[in-house]
Structure formats: C-alpha cells, structure tokens
C-alpha cells in the first residue's frame, strides 16, 4: 500500500544562543535536531528536515524555512500548535503549509535576507545582549553608507568567503544592502540570491572597519577586486546575525 506523503513547509524562528548551529552534529544540540525530535514526538516519524540556510552556532533566525515529507494525518492547522507545545522556548514554528511535491527549502529559494545588528553605544546592551554585537568604538555611519553601492549587484564575493570553502562559483547577486539606524542600533540589511560561507559576517566586519576609518572606500573596492579573504576585515561575531527571510517565487 502506497502512503500518501505531504511536502510540508515551515517558517521557523529561533534564538541560536544555546545551539551548535542549525545543522545536525554530534557536539551539541542543534535547531535541526530539536525540530526533528519534535516531529518524531508528534507524528512518530523519524524524518530529516531540509533547511534553506545552515546558520552557524549562535546565529538567529526569524524566517528560516524548512521542508520535509510526512505521512501525518494531523490537520496542518493543529500541527503548528502541537510542534510548538513540545519544542524548547527558543525555537518557534511560525507558519506551516503544505506545498508542491517539488518544493525544496534550499534550492527553490530565489533570495534570502540577513540582518546584522550592531549595538553602538557606550552602554552595554542588556535585554538584547545575545542578539547584537556590542561595538562601543567610534563609527561613522555615513562612511559605511558610501560603500554600500559597491556591494549591490552581481559580483565575485570571494574576498568575503571564509577561507578554505570549496564551492564552484563565488559570484553572487546582492539585490539590496542598506543600513537602518534606530536608537543604539545599526542594522545591516542585505538581500542576495545566495550567500557564501560567512559572507554577511565578513561584510559586516569590513563595514565596521570603514565606519571606524581604518580603511576607506577605495580600499573597499580593492578588497572586492582582490578576491582574497585575507584582504577583508575580520568576521563579525555570530550573535549579531539573523536570517530574516527566505523568498520563493510562489
């Protein structure tokens, strides 16, 4: 007898502080592991989920997307509540829908938006302390804004890729990149058709050097052209990063 499998898409938010990243691994709890345990509890199915992006240890998400095939007969309207009732409080299933059989959380994505949060103040952050990178040194936001046009568009972002990555192409298209300054926070908001490993954190680290005056706009262009990780700034800490949204064509 053939089982009828649903392809289920879920939008998931989490605070990554307590986790060794999204993807299953042996050295610590993961977001994937917790969600798979919750699905097993609710449906009895020992399945694996696919995530749109493999966020690192300490990285957060508001709009991570996962999908999996399930034979569950639980109505989707109840599925979200059931999963949330057994998940830890730092992981929240926001939306559950049934999608076409060929939907793939990673391959079907047309773009993703990440937000990097800098807390720029003399005062330590309190309530946001695990969600921001506390940066108490001088920063000129106008200088940071000036280099954003170099980032937008289709470019080879090899200089912003973690060294040692083995992938076919390091060309990505950044659809938009802007800064949003609110209160003590400077948010770097970047949308692209794909991201290299550590790309947002390396861009953030380099933008901080621009804001601090260690390098200027011409240096930034040279870093882009060099296609050499050693030329760009340091990798900004994981805790400031959040996978905000994954966009699909339908």
Contact footprint for its own copies (CB under 8 A): 13-15, 60, 62, 84, 89-90, 92, 94, 123-124, 126-127, 129, 131
Length of the chain equals: 250
Minimum CB–partner distance for residue 119 and its own copies (Å): 12
Instruction: Name the residue nearer to its own copies (CB basis): 46 or 183.
Output: 183
Minimum CB–partner distance for residue 23 and its own copies (Å): 20
Name the nearest CA neighbour of 171 among 149, 195, 147, 188. 195
Q: To which H or E segment does residue 78 belong?
A: helix 76-86
Beta-carbon-side half-sphere exposure of residue 65 (alpha carbons within 13 Å): 23
Minimum CB–partner distance for residue 20 and its own copies (Å): 19
Minimum CB–partner distance for residue 17 and its own copies (Å): 10
Minimum CB–partner distance for residue 207 and its own copies (Å): 23
Catalytic residue among 56, 156, 180, 228: 56
Q: Indicate left, alpha or beta for 148 from its phi (over 0: left) and psi (-120 to 50: alpha).
A: alpha
CA–CA separation, 38 vs 41, rounded Å?
Answer: 5
Instruction: Name the residue nearer to its own copies (CB basis): 113 or 161.
Output: 113
CA–CA separation, 48 vs 39, rounded Å?
Answer: 9
Instruction: Name the residue nearer to its own copies (CB basis): 114 or 160.
Output: 114
Name the nearest CA neighbour of 130 among 15, 219, 9, 236. 15
Q: To which H or E segment does residue 31 belong?
A: helix 31-43
Q: What are the E-state strand segments in the chain?
A: 6-14, 50-51, 60-70, 91-99, 109-119, 133-134, 153-156, 171-182, 185-192, 241-248
| Sign of the torsion angle spanned by Cα atoms 66, 9, 49, 89 | positive
Instruction: Name the residue nearer to its own copies (CB basis): 15 or 36.
Output: 15
Instruction: Name the residue nearer to its own copies (CB basis): 78 or 222.
Output: 78
In this structure, how many other beta carbons lie within 10 angstroms of the beta carbon of residue 219? 15
Say whether 102 is catalytic.
Answer: no
Residues identified as active-site = 56
């Amino acid at each position: 007898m053939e089982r009828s499998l649903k392809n289920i898409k879920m939008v998931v938010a989490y605070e990554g502080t307590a986790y060794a990243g999204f993807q299953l691994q042996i050295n610590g709890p993961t977001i994937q592991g917790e969600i798979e345990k919750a699905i097993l509890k609710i449906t009895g199915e020992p399945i694996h989920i696919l995530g749109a992006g493999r966020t690192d240890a300490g990285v957060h998400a508001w709009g991570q997307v996962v999908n999996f095939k399930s034979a569950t007969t639980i109505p989707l309207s109840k599925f979200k509540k059931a999963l949330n009732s057994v998940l830890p409080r730092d992981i929240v299933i926001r939306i559950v829908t049934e999608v076409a059989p060929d939907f793939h959380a990673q391959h079907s994505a047309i773009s993703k938006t990440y937000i990097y949060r800098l807390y720029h103040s003399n005062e330590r952050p309190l309530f946001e302390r695990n969600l921001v990178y506390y940066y108490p040194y001088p920063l000129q936001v106008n200088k940071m804004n000036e280099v954003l046009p170099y980032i937008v568009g289709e470019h080879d972002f090899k200089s912003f890729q973690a060294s040692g990555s083995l992938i076919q192409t390091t060309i990505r298209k950044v659809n938009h990149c802007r800064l949003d300054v609110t209160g003590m926070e400077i948010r770097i908001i970047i949308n692209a058709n794909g991201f290299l490993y550590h790309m947002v954190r390396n861009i953030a680290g380099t933008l901080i050097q621009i804001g601090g005056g260690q390098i200027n706009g011409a240096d930034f262009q040279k870093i882009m052209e060099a296609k050499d990780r050693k030329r760009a700034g340091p990798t900004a800490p994981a805790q400031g990063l959040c996978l905000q949204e994954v966009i699909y064509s339908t």
